[in-house]
A = this chain, B = another copy of it.
Amino acid sequence: MTDLTPQPCDLLIEAGWVVPVVPHGVVLTDHAVAVSNGRIQAILPIHEARAQFVPKETVARPEAALIPGLVNAHTHNPMTLLRGVADDLPLMTWLREHIWPVEGAVMGPEFVADGTTLAIAEMLRGGTTCANENYFFADVAAAVYKKHGFRALVGSVIIDFPSAWAKTDDEYFDRACELHDAWHGDALVGTAFAPHAPYTVSDANFERVRMLADQLDVLVHLHTHETAQEIADSIKLHGQRPLARLDRLGLVNDRLIAVHMTQLTEAEIALCAERGVSVVHCPESNLKLASGFCPACALLKAGVNLAIGTDGCASNNDLDMFGETRTAALLGKAVANDAAGFSAHEALRAATLGGANALGFGDKVGSLEVGKQADLVCVDLAQLETQPLHHVVSQLVYAAGRQQVSDVWINGVAKLRQRVLVDMDMDAIIANAKQWRQRIAGIERAS
């Protein structure tokens, strides 16, 4: 303790517990986080903070845990408007008879803007401060994220089929490069290539992705090894498993954000670890679509950077990172046949720093460290559902619900205060969602 003259700060958050994620496994009791210019200025005991800082604003949450904002490392947020439009169907029936006809009829800038807005509101209310977006009309989504001060890596879809977003290969690549140019250097919104999947992207297009990703220094966000069928089809068509094919095409490296990965050999896990591939585990989507089980514990043990994603609301059906993280921790143990295989602390790290690292934002966010951007979430643990409070991180991962998120900041800017969205009109968003329901019901009836 030093004898400094009190210094100013923009915001002082005093919490019952601070879980910084770095260092791993630590819970700081009665600590405060000082924020200035959008960054974490100090993390220290509350009584020291009060002596050391003269804050413009103090937020006291003596019964809450302060944690890094959660990072949803794989989502298709415009599809929030299709939440539950069709469930409990085999994948191809679901896509061909429901999702594709509806998307064909509605997908465009308005759908993407409205769906992304609904998703941002849902994510903020659930403690998520950053998303890895993967959908058409990425330019629209990027602008919506920026407008709402929400952190995102927005992927430009590359797929071998025409869509409302682009008709030809060249158009897909042109749009991706335009998006990159438009957002290059932005503090909040980054861009990536999002080649859809090994079964929908040709070798030539993958090579073009690799070349451009290297040139522009951006990440590659890819669904892969999602189902056993995908592996079988790849062997039939290319004589190789998808990961081997991607390796041949030069894509298995530290730019790759590999989503799903339910089908992995030990050698493939070792390859991912060696090359610095990030794996995004979407347990609830994998369960709901009966895709298979990602070997999350084995990936962690091998040293692979593991992140967690909800996938889109058409296949999950929510953007609840608390629920997804809990499912990841529970399922991970069962799949590894080891109750000690995936701890609550490891799950929280995957949902925060793991995601930030996967998105290339690990130097900026994902943990509470001095100098990092202040993406912060308060979780109220005083509620009956998290009592008695024997262990903070156990309660956060295994018992707390997203409704216990009380306050959220992104870059030090308040986005949720005492459960109220600061700068979004929730009633208008709900009313708009109801209009989309009517519109989509009309399409479903007609199809």
Partner among B290, B318, B334, B336 whose Cβ is within 8 Å of the Cβ of A398? B318
Partner among B85, B287, B390, B399 whose Cβ is within 8 Å of the Cβ of A334? B287
Q: Does A94 contact B (CB under 8 A)?
A: yes
The contact string, 1 if C-beta is below 8 Å from chain B, for chain A 379-398, is 00011111111110011001
Q: Does A88 contact B (CB under 8 A)?
A: yes
- Closest chain-B Cβ to A410's Cβ sits at a distance in Å of 18
In the complex, identify which listed stretch (A65-73, A244-252, A426-434) lies at the interface while the others stay far away.
A426-434
Q: Does A3 contact B (CB under 8 A)?
A: no
Q: Does A333 contact B (CB under 8 A)?
A: yes
- Considering the complex, which residues of chain A in the window 332-383 have a beta carbon less than 8 Å from any beta carbon of chain B? 333-334, 336-344, 382-383
- Closest chain-B Cβ to A28's Cβ sits at a distance in Å of 18
Check A121 against B83 for contact (C-beta < 8 Å).
no
Residues of A within 8 A of B (CB-CB), count: 72
Q: Does A87 contact B (CB under 8 A)?
A: yes
The number of times this chain is found in the oligomer is 2
Check B122 against A395 for contact (C-beta < 8 Å).
no
Give A429's nearest chain B residue, CB to CB: B384
**Assuming the A-B contacts A90-B339, A316-B398, A336-B290, are A388 and B331 also in contact, with contact meaning beta carbons closer than 8 angstroms in the complex?**
no
Check B333 against A84 for contact (C-beta < 8 Å).
no
Q: Does A436 contact B (CB under 8 A)?
A: yes
The contact string, 1 if C-beta is below 8 Å from chain B, for chain A 432-443, is 011011001100
Check A333 against B287 for contact (C-beta < 8 Å).
yes
Check B289 against A339 for contact (C-beta < 8 Å).
yes
Q: Does A143 contact B (CB under 8 A)?
A: no
**Assuming the A-B contacts A284-B330, A333-B288, A336-B290, are A436 and B388 also in contact, with contact meaning beta carbons closer than 8 angstroms in the complex?**
yes
Complex Cα gap A91–B121 (Å) = 40
Q: Does A42 contact B (CB under 8 A)?
A: no
Complex Cα gap A440–B430 (Å) = 45
Complex Cα gap A70–B193 (Å) = 45
The contact string, 1 if C-beta is below 8 Å from chain B, for chain A 411-434, is 000000000000000100110011
Q: Does A29 contact B (CB under 8 A)?
A: no
Give A291's nearest chain B residue, CB to CB: B334
Check B384 against A125 for contact (C-beta < 8 Å).
yes
Complex Cα gap A249–B31 (Å) = 59
- Closest chain-B Cβ to A433's Cβ sits at a distance in Å of 4
Q: Does A74 contact B (CB under 8 A)?
A: no
Complex Cα gap A91–B340 (Å) = 9
**Assuming the A-B contacts A89-B340, A384-B430, A387-B433, are A318 and B399 also in contact, with contact meaning beta carbons closer than 8 angstroms in the complex?**
yes
| Complex interface: chain B residues within 8 A of A342 (CB) | 88
Give A228's nearest chain B residue, CB to CB: B337
| Complex interface: chain B residues within 8 A of A286 (CB) | 334
Question: Which A residues lie at the B interface, using CB under 8 A?
Answer: 81-85, 87-91, 94, 118, 121-122, 125-126, 284, 286-293, 313, 316-318, 320, 323, 327, 329-331, 333-334, 336-344, 382-391, 394-395, 398-399, 401-403, 426, 429-430, 433-434, 436-437, 440-441
Q: Which 8 pairs from chain A and chain B are nearest by CB?
A: A84-B394, A388-B437, A287-B330, A387-B433, A403-B403, A88-B343, A287-B334, A317-B398
Known pairs A90-B338, A383-B430. 16 more at Cβ < 8 A? A81-B388, A83-B395, A84-B395, A84-B399, A88-B340, A122-B384, A284-B330, A290-B334, A290-B336, A290-B339, A317-B395, A318-B385, A390-B437, A401-B401, A401-B402, A403-B403
